[in-house]
Amino acid sequence: MRYLPLAFDVQDRPCLLVGGGAVATRKARLLARAGARLTVVAPEITDELRQLIDDSDGQFFRATYHADFLDGAELVIAATADPAVNAEVSADAQERKLPVNAVDAPGLCSFTFPAIVERGPLSIGISSGGAAPVLAQRLRAQLEALLSPGIGALAELAMHVRDKVKTALPEPQRKDFWRWVFSGPVASKVEAGKTKEGEAALLAALANWRGEEGPAGEVYLVGGGPGDPDLLTFRALRLMQQADVVLYDRLVSPQVLDLVRRDAERIYVGKKKEFHSVPQDGINQLLVDLAGKGKKVLRLKGGDPFIFGRGGEEIDKLAEARIPFQVVPGITAASGCSTYAGIPLTHRDYAQSVRFITGHLKEGELELPWKELASPGQTLVFYMGLTGLSTICKQLISHGMPANTPVALVEKGTTREQRVVVGDLSSIPTLAEKKSVEAPALTIIGGVVSLHKKLRWYQP
């Protein structure tokens, strides 16, 4: 490691910036955000840079650089388009033992700017020492996705109450207390935007602190989407990395499951036709029991937890047991699979509404408002409808829907194994059998299906 990563306090300190173009403006933004007073030397400057100078109570000198401009500066940046000028600035600054950065010239720098991830008072710098700045920027983007936007608020809360904690607790207890704050319900509340509730919980715990409490249990009810891991939300990914144990369904793709924290315990609770590995009541109770033992429990579901996912039943049980929980929506299969198949669920020329329907047979019957479903100008999306496909088609035809209405079966939608079988109400049951379509498969019925060949963009 050639460059030692340090945090430099430039609040109200004079910083010299030589250059007035786009590159100099980018550096000035960083300095201004840290509260520096800007002194800029350049023949011309951008309008934004002029505003940054004014906002920082700084100075602008419309001039050619010379060494006297270094007087009083505590940090120097050379950001001109002339390598010779940048080299001169660097040499003069280093002769005076001033920290200096010359843009795109690591050999002229005594310090470099890292790629910065910022969350309030919390900042993370990623430096390659000027060797690979684009790689550092790529890593920054990955960290941006993993870090909760609310973690900055948590850092601000800690700063706000730090003196109170220091006064109330001796050193050993203080460390235990902060570990509890950053890994328990306080952190969950603040990161969810409930800062006042989080602060109240922190102060209540501080007033009664008798030592390190046991870990606080919580349940994360997360929608894993229809299969493609790229469709996960950032929040889902963060919680998947925090979980101690995960309960997952059959519809969660292996690629999504691979993103769960590697050392988390995994419990399969999936359901398929005529076989439930764990009954729903058992799943509900398992969530309560695991969280009651202080575990952070990830309940990972395919699609969205609240669209035919029985998520409402699970959080009802959690609320009854007073177990903290978070719910993260996921892209439901209807949206994900139809998009990857090139089938818009609504279209001005074909469908002005869309209905999501469960096609699951109950005791061999499928009781639905068939007359309403057979109405024109809408798209029907049947979840779990493969077993009852023949019944669905017959009922819709018998209630007035034309037999040539287009139908698509999307098997393993959004994954690399995706397959789309297209027919109409009269032919699709036979086609499904002939082509051995297997679950999970989504059934889409309506005029929008006719756009499949024209609009499809995803080729698994």
DSSP states of 114-134: PEEEEETTEEEEE--TTS-HH
Task: Give domain 218-331's CATH architecture.
Answer: 3-Layer(aba) Sandwich (3.40)
Average pLDDT, integer, range 380-395: 93
Among candidate residues 59, 7, 53, 9, the one with its CA nearest the CA of residue 32: 53
Q: Is 413 annotated as a binding residue?
A: yes
pLDDT, one tens digit per residue, over 60-74 is 999 999 999 999 999
Q: Options 3.30.950.10, 1.10.10.10, 2.40.110.20, 3.30.930.10; which CATH number does 334-455 get?
A: 3.30.950.10
24, 3 in Cβ contact below 8 A? no
Q: Is 334 annotated as a binding residue?
A: no
Domain extent listing, the chain:
14-114, 151-207, 218-331, 334-455
Nearest-angstrom CA–CA distance, 14 and 199: 36
Query: Residue 27's pLDDT is what?
Result: 95
Query: Residue 215's pLDDT is what?
Result: 57
Quickly state the pLDDT bin for 373 (edges 50, 70, 90).
very high
Quickly state the pLDDT bin for 359 (edges 50, 70, 90).
confident
Quickly state the pLDDT bin for 382 (edges 50, 70, 90).
very high
Residue 292: partners with Cβ closer than 8 Å, 6 or more residues away:
217, 321, 323
Among candidate residues 6, 16, 8, 7, the one with its CA nearest the CA of residue 39: 16
Query: Residue 185's pLDDT is what?
Result: 81
Nearest-angstrom CA–CA distance, 419 and 394: 24
Nearest-angstrom CA–CA distance, 61 and 79: 15
At residue 361, does pLDDT exceed 70? no
* Cβ neighbours around 137 below 10 Å, total: 12
Average pLDDT, integer, range 411-424: 94
Q: Is 44 annotated as a binding residue?
A: yes
Task: Write the single-letter amino acid at 11.
Answer: Q
pLDDT, one tens digit per residue, over 33-65 is 999 999 999 999 999 999 999 999 999 999 999
Segment (H or E) for 248: strand 245-248
Q: Is 364 annotated as a binding residue?
A: no
pLDDT, one tens digit per residue, over 114-162 is 888 888 888 888 888 778 888 988 888 888 877 878 888 999 999 999 9
**11: which 2 tokens?**
């609040």
pLDDT, one tens digit per residue, over 163-178 is 999 999 988 788 888 8
Average pLDDT, integer, range 248-273: 88
Query: Residue 216's pLDDT is what?
Result: 67
426, 397 in Cβ contact below 8 A? yes
Query: Residue 234's pLDDT is what?
Result: 87
**Residue found under tokens 């074909």:** 350
Quickly state the pLDDT bin for 183 (edges 50, 70, 90).
confident
96, 79 in Cβ contact below 8 A? no
Identify any residues that bridge with 409 across adjacent strands, giving them in sequence order.
421, 443
Q: Is 302 annotated as a binding residue?
A: yes
Q: Is 39 annotated as a binding residue?
A: no
At residue 194, does pLDDT exceed 80? yes
**266: which 2 tokens?**
């995994």
Query: Residue 45's pLDDT is what?
Result: 95
Strands 406-411 and 441-445: antiparallel
Residue 32 Cα to chain centre, angstroms: 28
CA end-to-end span of the chain: 44
% of the chain beyond a pLDDT of 70: 95
Q: Is 282 annotated as a binding residue?
A: no
299, 314 in Cβ contact below 8 A? yes
Query: Residue 460's pLDDT is what?
Result: 45
- Among the residue ranges 129-133, 165-169, 271-275, 337-341, the one predicted with the least confidence is 271-275
404, 425 in Cβ contact below 8 A? yes
Residue 402: partners with Cβ closer than 8 Å, 6 or more residues away:
425
At residue 213, does pLDDT exceed 60? no
Nearest-angstrom CA–CA distance, 452 and 381: 15
Q: What is the CA radius of gyration of the chain?
A: 30
Could you give the residue numbers annotated as active site?
Answer: 249, 271
Among candidate residues 277, 276, 223, the one with its CA nearest the CA of residue 252: 223
Query: Residue 229's pLDDT is what?
Result: 93
Nearest-angstrom CA–CA distance, 438 and 440: 6
Mean pLDDT of the chain, nearest integer: 90
Identify any residues that bridge with 37 across adjacent strands, giving them in sequence order.
14
Query: Can you state the angle between helices 151-168 and 195-207, rounded to 10 degrees?
Result: 20
Among candidate residues 231, 236, 457, 443, the one with its CA nearest the CA of residue 357: 443
At residue 276, does pLDDT exceed 70? no
Count CA atoms within 13 Å of residue 392 on its CB side: 27
247, 276 in Cβ contact below 8 A? no
pLDDT, one tens digit per residue, over 2-40 is 778 888 899 999 999 999 999 999 999 999 999 999 999
Average pLDDT, integer, range 264-274: 80
- Domain 14-114: which topology? Rossmann fold (3.40.50)
At residue 272, does pLDDT exceed 70? no
444, 354 in Cβ contact below 8 A? no
Residue 301: partners with Cβ closer than 8 Å, 6 or more residues away:
221, 222, 223, 224, 248, 249, 251, 252, 309, 311, 330
Write the CA distances from 352 to 339, 392, 402, integer angstroms.
17, 21, 18
Residue 450: partners with Cβ closer than 8 Å, 6 or more residues away:
350, 406
Nearest-angstrom CA–CA distance, 446 and 301: 28
143, 117 in Cβ contact below 8 A? yes
